A and B are shown apart, each in its own frame.
Chain A
Amino acid sequence: ETGVTQTPRHLVMGMTNKKSLKCEQHLGHNAMYWYKQSAKKPLELMFVYSLEERVENNSVPSRFSPECPNSSHLFLHLHTLQPEDSALYLCASSQGPNAGELFFGEGSRLTVL
C-alpha cells in the first residue's frame, strides 16, 4: 500500500477520444505531481501542484489538462492525443513541492491508437 492510488491502471483510447486519469493520495501531503515515462527515457515531470495551485508546468501540450480540486485528488484530462503520447503516466505526492520523499502511484499505462 503506497498511499497513492491511480485509476485506471490501463487505458486504450483513440485519437478523438476524451478520457481522464485520476490520482488520490491518503498521506496528507501538500504537493502532487504528474510524470510521464516513455520507453528508454528518464521520468519527465509534467505538472506540479502545491495546495491545489499549479506551481510547475513543463511546456506540456494543451491536449493534457490537469485539475487539482483539493490537496488529495489530482486528475489528468486527455483529449485528441497522438500515438506518441502512449506511455506510463505516474502520479506522485510529497510533503511539499519539490521537497521531501516522493510517494508514487502504480501508474496508468496509456495506449493511443
Chain B
Amino acid sequence: KNEVEQSPQNLTAQEGEFITINCSYSVGISALHWLQQHPGGGIVSLFMLSSGKKKHGRLIATINIQEKHSSLHITASHPRDSAVYICAVNSGNTPLVFGKGTRLSVIA
C-alpha cells in the first residue's frame, strides 16, 4: 500500500509570501491529486497530474516521478488561501490514498 507523507503539517505565512507544500509517496503511481479543504468542510480538486507541471492562476503543481515527490506552490499568497491542502495518489485502479494534509494560515 502506498504511504503518502506531507510536509509541513502546519504552515503560517504572511500575505504575499511564496508558499511550498511537499508530498512524498512510496510506490509508483498513475496519478497524484492536490485537494483544498476550507474550514466549512467541502473539498475542491486543485490538480490531477501524472508528470511535469500544471499551473492554475497563482497555484503551481509539480511532480518528479523518479523521486516520488510533488510540490504545490502558491505565489503571492492571500488570506483566502488559508485552508488544508491534501495530497492523494492512486496506482492503476486502486482507491486514492490520502496524506494527512497541510494546514495553511495566511495572515494579512
Scoring B residues 85 to 102 as 1 if CB is less than 8 Å from chain A, else 0, what string do you get? 010101001111111110
Q: Is there contact, CB below 8 Å, between A104 and B95?
A: no
Q: Is there contact, CB below 8 Å, between A45 and B43?
A: no
**Range class of the A interface residue count:** 20 to 34
- The total of Cβ contacts below 8 Å across the A-B interface reads 57
- Which residue of chain B is the closest to A89 with respect to CB atoms? B41
Residue B48 at the A interface, CB < 8 A?
A: yes
Contact partners of A98 in chain B: CB under 8 A: 90, 93-96
Residue A99 at the B interface, CB < 8 A?
A: yes
Q: Is there contact, CB below 8 Å, between A56 and B95?
A: yes
- Which residue of chain B is the closest to A58 with respect to CB atoms? B95
Contact partners of B90 in chain A: CB under 8 A: 98-99
When chains A and B are docked, how far (Å) is the Cα of A74 from the Cα of B90? 23
When chains A and B are docked, how far (Å) is the Cα of A2 from the Cα of B86? 18
**Known A42-B101, A43-B86; contact A102-B41, beta-carbon cutoff 8 A:** no
When chains A and B are docked, how far (Å) is the Cα of A46 from the Cα of B11? 30
- Which residue of chain A is the closest to B38 with respect to CB atoms? A106
Partner of A101, one of B45, B100, B101: B45
Scoring B residues 27 to 59 as 1 if CB is less than 8 Å from chain A, else 0, what string do you get? 000000101000011111100100000000000
When chains A and B are docked, how far (Å) is the Cα of A56 from the Cα of B93? 11
Q: Is there contact, CB below 8 Å, between B33 and A107?
A: no
Q: Is there contact, CB below 8 Å, between A106 and B100?
A: no
Residue A23 at the B interface, CB < 8 A?
A: no
Q: Tell me how far the C-beta of B20 lies from the nearest C-beta in chain A, rounded to whole angstroms.
A: 21
Query: Which 5 A-B residue pairings sit nearest by Cβ, starting from the closest?
Result: A107-B41, A106-B42, A104-B43, A42-B98, A43-B98
Known: A88-B41, A97-B93. 10 other contacts (CB 8 A): A41-B100, A48-B95, A90-B43, A98-B93, A99-B93, A102-B33, A102-B35, A104-B42, A107-B42, A107-B43
